[in-house]
Amino acid sequence: MDNKILEIFIPGPAGRLEAKYYKSKKNTSPIALVLQPHPQYGGTMNNKVVVDIFHTFMDNDFSVCRVNFRGVGKSDGEFDNGQGELADAAAALDWLERENFDNSQCWVSGFSFGSLIAMQLLMRRPEINRFIAISPQPNVYDFSFLSPCPTSGLIAYGKKDELVPSEYITELDKRLSSQKGIKVEFNAIAEANHFFSKTSEDLVKYLDKYIKKETALY
């Protein structure tokens, strides 16, 4: 399938953004944007978890895009502490929507720092109707902006995440599960660390199951 993945450049607020894009043959296919982990810790759109998420969307017949934030890979600009990266994600979503104006659903997903940017984008874009956040870090970043969280989604994390003490995830779960009208599923993956080093297959299984369940509703 890899030969159908295009390398593209998207016009972004700080110059061009390097991205990979797969277009589904189905006209009204759902779309998904997948966001990378922290650029200053070596994160790129070719991170293994990001690529796994991307392929899982592809396998479920989404038109899907993953993007390098400013200053990463061949993307112009330099790291901007989250604000610029959020603007980059918004530009990538604009591009993806223009390419697929008749999409049936709009999803956003991110890993680690990417999950923070994905959730911030979710708050600003009412057309996003599902999210998948992998290994969020509520101990490092303030997620209180998710009040109320506008849509249902999945938060997947490792039981053995060495970067996030479990009580922070429990606290986030408590806050989001008290909101009416949406359902945020929290999924702990038993032997997984923050990066799903040896458990990426388990992660993909969970993601695939969730995506199939939520797209069947449309």
Q: Note the pLDDT tens digit of each residue in 129-182.
A: 999 999 999 999 999 999 889 999 999 999 999 999 999 999 999 999 888 899
Residue 147 has what pLDDT? 81
Q: Which domain holds residue 99?
A: 2-215
Instruction: Give the phi and the psi of residue 177 in degrees, each rounded to 5.
Output: -75, -15
Of all helices (H) and strands (E), which one includes residue 21? strand 15-22
Residue spans of beta strands (DSSP E) within 85-194:
106-111, 130-134, 153-158, 184-189
Q: Note the pLDDT tens digit of each residue in 80-130.
A: 999 999 999 999 999 999 999 999 999 999 999 999 999 999 999 999 999
Pick from 121, 105, 124, 30: which is nearest to 67 by CA?
A: 121
For the segment 58-65, the average pLDDT, to the nearest whole number, is: 97
Query: Is the CB of residue 37 less than 8 Å from the CB of residue 118?
Result: no
Spatial separation of the C-alpha atoms in residues 85 and 209, rounded to whole Å: 29
Reported as a pLDDT band with limits 50, 70 and 90, residue 3 is: low
Query: Is the CB of residue 158 less than 8 Å from the CB of residue 112?
Result: no
Q: What would the two tokens of residue 94 be?
A: 């604009």
Query: Is the CB of residue 28 less than 8 Å from the CB of residue 102?
Result: yes
Query: What's the structural domain count of the chain?
Result: 1
The amino acid present at 137, given as its one-letter code, is: Q
Spatial separation of the C-alpha atoms in residues 158 and 135, rounded to whole Å: 7
What is the spatial order of strands in the sheet that 106-111 belongs to? 6-12, 15-22, 63-67, 31-35, 106-111, 130-134, 153-158, 184-189
* CATH number of domain containing 136: 3.40.50.1820
Spatial separation of the C-alpha atoms in residues 199 and 192, rounded to whole Å: 6
